[in-house]
Structure 1
Amino acid sequence: MTAVTTHTSRGRPGGLPAEVTSFVGRRHEVTEVRRLLAASRAVTLTGTGGVGKTRLAVRVGQEVRRAFRDGVWLVELGALDCPDVLADAVAEALEIRDGAGPPLTALTGHLRDKQALIILDNCEHLLDACAVLADTLLRRAPELRILATSRQALGIAGEQSLPVPPLNLPDCRTARTSSLDGFLQSESVRLFAERGRAAHPGFAVTDDNREVVCHIVRRLDGLPLAIELAAVRLRALSAQQLLDRLDDRFRLLSAGRRAVLPRHQTLRALIDWSYALCSHEERLLWQRASVFAGGMDLEAAEAVCSGDGIARQDVVDLVIALVDKCVLIREDHPDGVRYQMLETLRAYGAERLAGPGERAALRERHRGYYRDLAARARAELFGPDQVRWLRRLQAEHANLRTALESGLASRETSAESLSMATDLLYHWITSYYPGEGRGWLERALATAPGPARSPAPLRGRALWAAAWLAIIQADLPAATRLLRESERIGRRLGDASILGYVALFRGMAAMCAGRAPEAIDLYRQALEHHRGTGDPAAAALTLIRLSMAYSFLGRSPEAVRAGQECLELCDAHGEGWHRAYMMTALGMEMWRQGDLTRATELERGSLSFDRSLDDLLGAGVTIEVLAWIAATRGDFQRAARLLGVLRGVWGAVGAPLSGFGHLAGYHEECRERTRAALGEAAYETALRRGAALGPREALAYALGEDPAGVRASRTRPGDGDGAAVLTRREHEIAGLVARGLTNKEIAAALVIAQRTAEGHIEHILAKLGFNSRAQIAVWVGDHARDEQATDGPPNGSPDGSPDGDGGHVNGARARRPAARDADGCDAGGCADGRVTRGGRR
């Protein structure tokens, strides 16, 4: 924030602070606030401290001020402690000098016929008084609008509330491999880069420090205030030194700007302010909720946080109160509501816990809850609730990690982590974590008591679970070692379940080594054990692998019989995951038989289930088969794109296709046929286009849904078949993006503002249905020949429009963005719907 100075425009009154630093990001939020202001007379921006509510409100005020003939006024309430003088403060900010009567009377009298926007900033500590004042003013001044900022909604009639999220964050997993320019598109990175350069002119985000910067902004939750406070430290510290010291973020980020309120000068003071607004019970819940990593649901909060001052039945009301105060963030998931806490607030809550004893007890309750959750999920895995459980485990992944780490911290509790990691086997496989799951199992096996002292069934089960994950990662020596020890335990105990799983996974290892007849014998042994123990999940898994082995040897009737038996078993239990894999295996067999239509139906049915569960490993196997089918049909363009998609899939899941044995040979055959049919250049182009698709677009393409991004990327501008058309300027900028220029370099080359260049690139992404600059580059490369052949229709625009801003979407004339004046209003109207310049109401 900066000091408020009167800011007028073309004779309009008003008081808004002048911007002294750049406004980064928030395009969507600015648009949404303007839309809400057009529909409602009272809008409240809510969010945690430091998220940028005030800056957003002021920016919106500047953009819409032409819509309010009597001005846009900012009323800063952060330093106001007494609700009795609220009306005085508002009157003073609005420069109302009438002191003859009560302030509220003077205020309402002044505003009665005014068309104005009042921004009430920082209402949370005067919530009731602000609500009464706002309601009174809106009732008595029909053309008045109020935009409030608060950590809690005012709760008045007609109010629209908009939660202000932190700035968007980059993905540190891809920070090194993505383009530097693409990395700099993240709002949080851009803010850190700009403020860092202001603090130390020599600072820049580079290839060498981008991963460090990524971790800094993520550790700071994308909170603008925290990022700005951290960037100031670059005067004395390197980015790596700053990251190394963020564990003690409240001490490190303790020197802010002298010109702002004291509570905005340090991160601790800001959160102290939020904490002071909470009741004693709300503070207790805040502290205890800090034990959760990655959020919690209501059941978890009730189980872990109740007791010792919080009754279980009161937890729901306290959660609601903390959501209202923006300490917790509500998130809607397919299977229920979850509550997130920014890492900065979580660290503050953990620091406020009474002492080591309370922390240890809380961690024990947390570990026990998630240990039991994993056990319940395993018990109900093979049944109608399977998808719900697997999704729930995905949502709880960070908490599962925390619980596992807590258990492994002591040898006395390491067996709990061994049991939990084993119970989570299907979670490791159906998510993105086969490598991580194997790591947890091997750590727990190394820490927990060994077979010499305690040949427990748990250890035998954990060993074959780790072996399965090792096979998926194509680490056959490790899998063999693990299975050997598991088998010894199984024989010593006479445990048919352990022996059955050992036979199953030894069969998988044999298939990977090319020994299909041996694998079939082992699968038959495994099936006999699993039928005897009554384990339907193990029987289904064995039948899938048995069917694939029969198919590989050309024994089609036996492959189909095993597949049908598996499908009937799954259907009898209402199970979906094993059924989807069985459909994939039967699709392979139909492909081998030449029934490409039936093969495609089976694979797409399987892939639809994989998408519903976000099972990347299962999706990868299914997309492989769809690529083989496409090549067999002679559709080599599609085959190549699917192979490009698979590059990303196998890299993301950390499991090579060689973990599925004989399938790797089919992949190589498909690749060589496709390359030979297309030629090297066309093959590489199609491969890149497939690799450039995002996860959702890739799955849609594999399913034959033809996403907009793929459709646009394979058509040429102006061909009238539904491609999104770019303006001449957008084509020019797309070409510069393809050459690898940054936004700043594009702006300099075209002699335009950098912000204008950013806006053009956002329009290009939206029109083409893309989400990355890499996709633009591929699109430009694919259409270079067309663009060289023609420079667009007459009148200077690809669609013939005289100003070059026209476009066709789905064959229809696109609606042009309205021209904007210097104040940010559209030529056709402003935030309140009032027509300006272009006409009269």
Structure 2
Amino acid sequence: MFGNLPVEETSFIGRRHELSVLRKARTRSRLVTLTGTGGVGKTRIAVRSATEAANEFDDGVCFIDLSGLRHGELLVHAVAAAIGVTDHTTRSQEEALTDHLEDKRLLLVLDTCEHLVEACADLAVLLLRAAPRLHVLATSRQPFPLQDAQQFLVEPMPVVDEAAVLFAQRAREACPGFELTDSNRPEVERICARLDGIPLAIELAAGRLRTERLDTVGSRLEDRFQVLVEEATEADPQTSTSGGANRHSTLRTAIGWSHELCRPHERLLWARLSVFAGDFSLDAAQRVCGHSPLGEPEIADLLAGLVTKSLLVRDKWPDGERFRQLDTVRAYGGEWLRRLGEEQAQQSRYLAWCQEFAEQGERAWFGPGQAAVFHAARREHTHLFTALDSALSTPGQEEAGLRLAGTLWFYWVGCGLLGDGRYWLDRALATASRRTPDRLKALWVTGYVAILQGDSAVAVAMLEDCRAQALRIDDDAAYAYATHRLGCAALIRDEHGVAQKYFEAALDRYAALGELNSNVLMARIELAMAFAFQGDLERAVEVCEQARHICDVHGERWGKAYVLYVLSFAAWSRGQSDEAAELARESLSINYEFHDLVGVVLPIEFIALLHASGGHSDHAAVLQGAAHRIWRRVGLPLFGSAHFNAPHDAARTLSRKELGPEDYDKAFTRGTQLSVDQAVALAMDPAPKPL
């Protein structure tokens, strides 16, 4: 069951009425929206409501923070990534997402939708129509333009009860021993009333008790309030026209007051942190923000200072601490960054950090750190996509976006994001047209992705174009990679002799260049496939054993999974079924870890054949049904290749003969109901039990 709700780092106060209303609203509509001014607590209420409702949803709850998303066209990519949709086909992300959700009972929480409200409303309608058991809970300062949605306005906290209790609780965290008493209650309630009962404003004020007395906090707030209200109104005249706008002014006042009370370097860091689209690590903050007059060594202390002032949230995860800003706080920092004239320079540093991260991942992908690269890239997914979007939308930065899209080939291919990769690569190639090594790399990477998607004609055209341009600018590496991928295209067209020549030519060029990485390793493995499909099992095994040795020496696992697949095929061809099954399951286990659907479905098809050969035709038929469903997310089943298709056809023939057509079809249909996780679990079982 899926679940990624933010951990509540502080206690949840009050809001019983709101939670009760939301429970009732969910019974009336599958789309419920929480609206209200910034800082009023929409996200906290949504998270608590989702937590309470989680057991009602068999497939769990998925929380998606949209505050850092700039353009509506990227919304579906963000939702698909958060849910974990893996799709290798050329179909649109909308199609892939609706297909994934059509049978799911899931609660989708879309947080901070106001800047994309129309796109969010359109996507919600699309998904709810496609998935009859899906529910959507959204938070937005602007209501969704939909009549069918259950709209719920979140009001500020009642001062006498909830707001005062909230202040006291946060004050106790700032100043241990603080208690709400008869003597201090009037001052607490006066502060809460002055802040219109807005939870975020109250929390910021309560945090001042770390360094100031309660009466001082109240008087200084009053002294500053009028000045900051005037500044806020000047910046946004609309803030004085309605109750909601007045509350916006109040929140700006509270945030502005906190800004005034920060040390100069804390203010500067606050502004610079605004470029981060999601949560971030200490290292990322140091790399992006630690430049003059801030030094990298002081960033940790400055972050701690912002946390103690409730301007940053510190989250603890198994892989370390992460920091995040509430969207209202980040927006305020962004305004100051523009005033300081640092916005463009800071965005460039953010992009440079993402490029550096991608280059480190590309290098580490060939080695024992592959799993760590996979998880790190997933963690920084939002930043990578934000940087790509920013670069490809900013005049003068297009080449940087093209470079980043090409560098991330390992993420697109090795981590199951072919659809996303194709989107960014196509967009980058359309935006940056100058003939450079970065463009040639993007061309062969796009060709590689297109082949895996089953888009061979487009792939071949791109790869031939890449080779022609590589000759013009003497880019031997691009020529070698494009040659290699032309071999892949020939392999899946069953032109094995042609494929062999391409692979051998590419390997010769790789050797001359001194290239050794996962791509080079795959050329060896694919050459082994070409030999195997031509019936030369001896040479296929010889090349595979060479590749396996390279994998073991360098700790490479992703490529090794494909080595094991070919060796499994060879073992089966020699009549060694037990060894073939062991190799196939090891291949499947590794590819499943990397979310590589091609690498998952191929061994599942082969394990189905082993079951059929061993007299377990019911399991074989179920696995073939499961594979059929996975191929919908991969592309053309078995690439349309007769040789890749041979194990499938053999298993089908054996199973239908043993079970009979009717029982085979029933078992196959059962398999189509399995999720990828369930299919993998069934295939990994070495001792199948009766179904």
TM value normalised by structure 2: 0.65
Local SS of the residue matching 1:412: coil
Instruction: Tell whether 2:308 aligns with 1:328.
Output: no
Query: Cα gap change, 1:534/1:336 in structure 2, threshold over 3 Å: closer, same or farther?
Result: farther
8 Å CA contact retained: 1:441, 1:462:
yes
Structure 2 match to 1:523:
503
Structure 2 match to 1:608:
589
Structure 2 match to 1:549:
530
Local SS of the residue matching 1:330: strand
- The residue type equivalent to 1:620 in the other structure is V
8 Å CA contact retained: 2:456, 2:489:
yes
For residues 348 and 269 of structure 2, the distance between their equivalents in structure 1, rounded to whole angstroms, comes to 17
Q: CA deviation at 1:500?
A: 2.5
Structure 1 match to 2:429:
445
Instruction: Tell whether 2:545 aligns with 1:532.
Output: no
What CA deviation, in whole Å up to 9, does each residue of 1:137-174 have, x standing for no partner? xxxxxxxxxxxxxxxxxxxxxxxxxxxxxxxx978977
Local SS of the residue matching 1:662: helix
8 Å CA contact retained: 1:511, 1:662:
no
Query: Cα gap change, 1:458/1:557 in structure 2, threshold over 3 Å: closer, same or farther?
Result: same
Structure 2 match to 1:486:
466
8 Å CA contact retained: 1:616, 1:649:
yes
8 Å CA contact retained: 1:471, 1:659:
no
What CA deviation, in whole Å up to 9, does each residue of 1:347-379 have, x standing for no partner? 565456444943322211111111122223223
For residues 645 and 700 of structure 1, the distance between their equivalents in structure 2, rounded to whole angstroms, comes to 11
Query: Cα gap change, 1:398/1:178 in structure 2, threshold over 3 Å: closer, same or farther?
Result: closer
Structure 1 residues 70-149: aligned runs within 5 Å: none
8 Å CA contact retained: 1:433, 1:653:
no
Structure 2 match to 1:359:
343
Q: CA deviation at 1:178?
A: 6.8
8 Å CA contact retained: 1:504, 1:526:
yes
Query: Cα gap change, 1:436/1:675 in structure 2, threshold over 3 Å: closer, same or farther?
Result: farther
Q: CA deviation at 1:419?
A: 1.9
Local SS of the residue matching 2:276: coil
For residues 48 and 338 of structure 1, the distance between their equivalents in structure 2, rounded to whole angstroms, comes to 24
8 Å CA contact retained: 1:464, 1:502:
yes
Query: Cα gap change, 1:286/1:569 in structure 2, threshold over 3 Å: closer, same or farther?
Result: same
Structure 2 match to 1:564:
545
Q: CA deviation at 1:582?
A: 0.9
- The residue type equivalent to 2:580 in the other structure is A
Local SS of the residue matching 2:494: coil
For residues 270 and 589 of structure 1, the distance between their equivalents in structure 2, rounded to whole angstroms, comes to 72
Structure 2 match to 1:210:
128
Instruction: Tell whether 2:572 aligns with 1:591.
Output: yes
For residues 374 and 647 of structure 1, the distance between their equivalents in structure 2, rounded to whole angstroms, comes to 34
Instruction: Tell whether 2:676 aligns with 1:701.
Output: no
Instruction: Tell whether 2:614 aligns with 1:633.
Output: yes
What CA deviation, in whole Å up to 9, does each residue of 1:686-739 have, x standing for no partner? 345444444444333322289xxx99xx77xxxxxxxxxxxxxxxxxxxxxxxx
What CA deviation, in whole Å up to 9, does each residue of 1:227-282 have, x standing for no partner? 6x76xx47xx4169999xxxxxxxxx988479676316969579656786676365
8 Å CA contact retained: 2:525, 2:547:
yes
8 Å CA contact retained: 1:49, 1:274:
no
Aligned pair partner of 2:376 in 392, 395, 419: 392
For residues 325 and 513 of structure 2, the distance between their equivalents in structure 1, rounded to whole angstroms, comes to 45
Question: Structure 1: 5+ residue runs without aligned partners?
Answer: 1-15, 27-46, 61-168, 193-202, 244-252, 716-841
- The residue type equivalent to 1:510 in the other structure is A
Local SS of the residue matching 2:317: strand
Query: Cα gap change, 1:574/1:460 in structure 2, threshold over 3 Å: closer, same or farther?
Result: same
- The residue type equivalent to 1:238 in the other structure is L
Query: Cα gap change, 1:682/1:420 in structure 2, threshold over 3 Å: closer, same or farther?
Result: same
Instruction: Tell whether 2:197 aligns with 1:262.
Output: yes
Q: CA deviation at 1:311?
A: 3.8
Local SS of the residue matching 1:22: helix
Aligned pair partner of 2:558 in 577, 602, 619: 577
What CA deviation, in whole Å up to 9, does each residue of 1:160-193 have, x standing for no partner? xxxxxxxxx978977744788954x52759xx9x
- The residue type equivalent to 2:416 in the other structure is Y
For residues 618 and 422 of structure 2, the distance between their equivalents in structure 1, rounded to whole angstroms, comes to 37
Q: Tell me: higher relative CO, structure 1 or 2? Use CA pairs within 8 A at least 6 residues apart.
A: 2
8 Å CA contact retained: 1:288, 1:305:
yes
Structure 1 residues 323-472: aligned runs within 5 Å: 325=310, 327-328=312-313, 330=315, 332-333=317-318, 336-340=320-324, 350=334, 353-355=337-339, 357-451=341-435, 456-472=436-452
- The residue type equivalent to 1:186 in the other structure is L
**What RMSD over aligned residues (CA atoms) do the two structures have, in Å?**
4.5
8 Å CA contact retained: 1:175, 1:210:
no
- The residue type equivalent to 2:424 in the other structure is W
What CA deviation, in whole Å up to 9, does each residue of 1:2-45 have, x standing for no partner? xxxxxxxxxxxxxx99758627679xxxxxxxxxxxxxxxxxxx
Q: CA deviation at 1:549?
A: 1.2
Local SS of the residue matching 2:365: coil
For residues 487 and 298 of structure 2, the distance between their equivalents in structure 1, rounded to whole angstroms, comes to 54
For residues 595 and 497 of structure 1, the distance between their equivalents in structure 2, rounded to whole angstroms, comes to 40
Query: Cα gap change, 1:350/1:475 in structure 2, threshold over 3 Å: closer, same or farther?
Result: same
Local SS of the residue matching 2:454: coil
- The residue type equivalent to 2:440 in the other structure is G
- The residue type equivalent to 1:403 in the other structure is A
Query: Cα gap change, 1:594/1:653 in structure 2, threshold over 3 Å: closer, same or farther?
Result: same
Question: Structure 2: 5+ residue runs without aligned partners?
Answer: 1-13, 25-38, 53-81, 85-92, 114-120, 160-195, 200-242
For residues 385 and 427 of structure 2, the distance between their equivalents in structure 1, rounded to whole angstroms, comes to 13
Q: CA deviation at 1:471?
A: 0.9
Structure 1 match to 2:20:
22
What CA deviation, in whole Å up to 9, does each residue of 1:499-531 have, x standing for no partner? 322322222111222211221122222222222
Q: Size of the alignment, in residue pairs?
A: 529
Query: Cα gap change, 1:450/1:365 in structure 2, threshold over 3 Å: closer, same or farther?
Result: closer
- The residue type equivalent to 1:22 in the other structure is S
Structure 2 match to 1:186:
107
Aligned pair partner of 2:454 in 460, 474, 478: 474
Aligned pair partner of 2:643 in 652, 658, 662: 662
Q: CA deviation at 1:671?
A: 3.9
Query: Cα gap change, 1:211/1:275 in structure 2, threshold over 3 Å: closer, same or farther?
Result: farther
8 Å CA contact retained: 1:472, 1:659:
no
Query: Cα gap change, 1:341/1:211 in structure 2, threshold over 3 Å: closer, same or farther?
Result: farther
For residues 373 and 617 of structure 1, the distance between their equivalents in structure 2, rounded to whole angstroms, comes to 26
What CA deviation, in whole Å up to 9, does each residue of 1:183-212 have, x standing for no partner? 4x52759xx9xxxxxxxxxx9x99767279
Aligned pair partner of 2:487 in 495, 503, 507: 507
For residues 666 and 547 of structure 2, the distance between their equivalents in structure 1, rounded to whole angstroms, comes to 40
Larger Rg, first or second structure (1 or 2): 1
Q: CA deviation at 1:597?
A: 0.9
Query: Cα gap change, 1:368/1:20 in structure 2, threshold over 3 Å: closer, same or farther?
Result: closer
Structure 1 residues 764-803: aligned runs within 5 Å: none
For residues 314 and 242 of structure 1, the distance between their equivalents in structure 2, rounded to whole angstroms, comes to 47
Structure 2 match to 1:729:
none
For residues 507 and 307 of structure 1, the distance between their equivalents in structure 2, rounded to whole angstroms, comes to 47
- The residue type equivalent to 1:555 in the other structure is D
For residues 323 and 661 of structure 1, the distance between their equivalents in structure 2, rounded to whole angstroms, comes to 60
- The residue type equivalent to 1:571 in the other structure is D
8 Å CA contact retained: 1:329, 1:341:
no
Query: Cα gap change, 1:415/1:535 in structure 2, threshold over 3 Å: closer, same or farther?
Result: same
For residues 275 and 648 of structure 1, the distance between their equivalents in structure 2, rounded to whole angstroms, comes to 54
Query: Cα gap change, 1:640/1:565 in structure 2, threshold over 3 Å: closer, same or farther?
Result: same
For residues 441 and 53 of structure 1, the distance between their equivalents in structure 2, rounded to whole angstroms, comes to 39
For residues 603 and 300 of structure 1, the distance between their equivalents in structure 2, rounded to whole angstroms, comes to 39
